[in-house]
Structure formats: C-alpha cells, structure tokens
C-alpha cells in the first residue's frame, strides 16, 4: 500500500470515529453503555467472521492468542469508559479529552519500554492541562461545571495510551501466523468477556434506558423509535468497529506515526461539529479555546522535537 493511500484511509477512519460519537449518544437513549458495547462488538465480530471466516483462528499460536485477547481487554475497557463518558457529558468534551491520549503515549512508552521523555512531551502535557481547564471551565470553589463524564473520559486516557503502545509493539513483532483480520477478531473476542462481566455485575437493569432518556422507563423493546437503535448499532458495528479498527490496524504501518497522529486530530473536530449540528450542543468561546489548546498540546508533544531539530540544522 502506498503511503498516500494509507493516509487517506486513516483520514476516513478519523471521520468514521468522529461521527460515531453521535451514534453512540443516540444509542444510549435505548440501552446502558456496557450492554450497548457488548451488542456492538458481538455484531462486529460476526461481521468479521462473515468476511474472513473463523476457522483460520485455529492455526494461531498461543502467543498470538494471548496478545490479541490482551489487546481486546484493553480495547474493551477503554471503549467502555469512553462510552460512559459520552453518556454523562457533551460529545465535544468527551472527544477532546480523549484526544489527550497522544500526549500521554510517550509517558506510557517510558513506563513500558524506558523510552526517554522529552521536554516537548512535558510541555505538551502542561498545555493539555490548560486545555482541560478551559474546556471544562470548572468552578474551583464548588466544582459546579465538572461533570461525571469529564472525569470518566480522563480516566479512559491511560487505557487508550497503553492500548496504542501495545498495538504498536505487537504489530511490529507480529507473528507469521497473524494478520490484520485475525488480530481484529482476537480483539473483539478479548473485549466481549470484559463487557459481559460489567453488564452482569453493574447493569442488572440493562434494558431500561438511562436517566437522561426521554423514553420513560419502558424496556428497550417497547420503544416506538427502536429503529433508531438498530441504525446506530448498524453504523457502529459495521463502520465504527469493524471498518474503523481494520483501517487503523492495516493502514497505520504504511505511514509515519506523525502523519497518522495529525490525521487523527480530525476525529474530535468532526465529533464536535456533528454534535453541535445534531444535538445543538452548547459550544462557547472558552470551550473552543480549550479544544484548540488541547490540539496544540498534541502537536507540541509529537512534533516539537522534530521541528526544533530541523531549525537548528
């Protein structure tokens, strides 16, 4: 695959990911977060089996199984926190706070691989903290403006950072018996038990819509707008899970990490624009300043050292 083609596919993945926030928010009016993800990833796994078959998994080595299932557990946990965040805060806040994963990746790389942390990484994190402050706009005396979803989104960042580091390690050292499709299946297989456990332990009334729903307390299946749930599920299973993860895993190795990172910055922008258009979400100047500061933090953390080195040369 040519680098230009890979970069175009990554941009498409960013668009799919950005739009998926609206479909997640809409789907959560019908069902609780863990069960929603459980249905979503189960459907995505069936789609993957349909396109690639499941018999090929029999040939995988145990080492590949362990790596794929471990990635899936991280993948499922990170998505679970992100989905709960969307349920309890605005899409703009959830998407831009999640974007902080990129400044966090070097710190996890240092923890896992002892890769050195640069001054630019530290500056990026400091800028990110200012960005969160403007985006959330907290009342520091009473913490009125801090929503539960803001904190949950922030908690998802370390999980995403570990996931991105491990997927980079595992795809670089990918066994001969593994390929993108097989690793995709293993990730869904690893995520499903995590989501099933959370559903059974914490969402005993999973078929009752969440508190913010205006559908009352009727069960999911009694809703006259049930077709909306299946539209959301179809988009998220086919495009937001199967296609998105496949494109990211397949295309990222054909371009540079820097270019991939820049392209993925369109994801929170698209998510915010879609939310403002569809939900009429409030988006004021201070929130915009916070979003710009977070994007700047990502760019400084990832590109600062490279730009500074080129100028000196």
Nearest residue to 297 (alpha-carbon basis) of 134, 128, 157? 128
Query: What is the band of 81 on the pLDDT scale with cuts at 50, 70, 90?
Result: very high
- Residue 212's pLDDT band (boundaries 50, 70, 90)? very low
Give residue 190's pLDDT.
92
What whole-number distance in Å separates Cα of residue 297 and Cα of residue 268? 14
Own/partner contacts of 25-28, CB < 8 Å, gap of 24 or more, are 25/86, 25/87, 25/91, 25/275, 25/279, 26/228, 26/232, 27/228, 27/229, 27/232, 27/233, 27/236, 28/83, 28/86, 28/87, 28/210, 28/213
Return the higher-pLDDT residue of 92 and 235.
Answer: 235
d(CA 298, CA 99) in angstroms, rounded, equals 8
Tens-digit pLDDT profile for residues 163-182: 888 877 776 666 555 577 78
What confidence category does residue 80 fall into, taking pLDDT thresholds of 50, 70 and 90? very high
Q: H or E stretch including 39?
A: helix 33-52
Least confident residue range of 186-190, 198-202, 301-305: 301-305
Q: Where are the beta strands (DSSP E) in the chain?
A: none
For range 113-132, the mean pLDDT? 80
Q: Which two tokens stand for residue 119?
A: 């001054």
pTM of the model: 0.82
Residue with tokens 């990833």: 41
Of 128, 127, 147, the C-alpha closest to 137 is 147
221-261 pLDDT, tens digit each:
556 677 888 898 899 989 888 888 778 777 766 776 666 76
**Residue 208: its pLDDT value, please?**
47
**Helix ranges (DSSP H) in 114-265:** 119-136, 148-172, 180-202, 226-234, 244-251, 257-264
Residue keyed to tokens 């998220």? 236
């Amino acid at each position: 695959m040519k680098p230009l083609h890979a970069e175009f596919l990554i941009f498409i993945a960013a668009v799919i990911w950005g739009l998926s926030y609206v479909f997640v928010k809409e789907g959560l009016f019908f069902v609780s977060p863990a069960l929603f993800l459980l249905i979503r990833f189960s459907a995505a796994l069936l789609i993957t089996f349909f396109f690639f078959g499941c018999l090929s998994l029999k040939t995988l080595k145990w080492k590949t199984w362990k790596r794929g299932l471990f990635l899936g557990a991280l993948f499922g946990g990170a998505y679970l926190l992100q989905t709960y965040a969307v349920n309890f805060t605005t899409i703009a806040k959830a998407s831009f706070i999640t974007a902080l994963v990129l400044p966090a990746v070097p710190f996890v790389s240092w923890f896992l691989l002892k890769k050195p942390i640069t001054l630019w990484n530290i500056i990026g994190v400091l800028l990110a903290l200012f960005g969160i402050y403007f985006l959330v706009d907290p009342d520091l005396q009473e913490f009125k403006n801090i929503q539960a979803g803001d904190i949950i989104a922030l908690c998802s960042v370390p999980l995403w950072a570990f996931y991105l580091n491990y997927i980079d390690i595992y795809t670089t050292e990918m066994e001969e018996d593994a390929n993108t499709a097989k690793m995709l299946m293993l990730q869904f297989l690893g995520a499903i038990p995590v989501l099933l456990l959370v559903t059974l332990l914490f969402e005993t009334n999973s078929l009752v819509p969440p508190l913010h729903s205006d559908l009352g307390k009727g069960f999911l299946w009694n809703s006259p707008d049930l077709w909306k749930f299946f539209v959301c599920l179809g988009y998220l299973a086919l495009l937001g899970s199967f296609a998105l993860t496949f494109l990211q895993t397949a295309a990222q190795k054909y371009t540079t990490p820097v270019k991939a990172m820049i392209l993925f910055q369109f994801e929170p922008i698209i998510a915010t624009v879609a939310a403002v258009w569809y939900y009429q979400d409030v988006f004021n100047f201070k929130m915009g300043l916070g979003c710009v500061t977070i994007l700047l933090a990502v760019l400084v953390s990832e590109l600062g050292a490279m730009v500074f080195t080129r100028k000196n040369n």
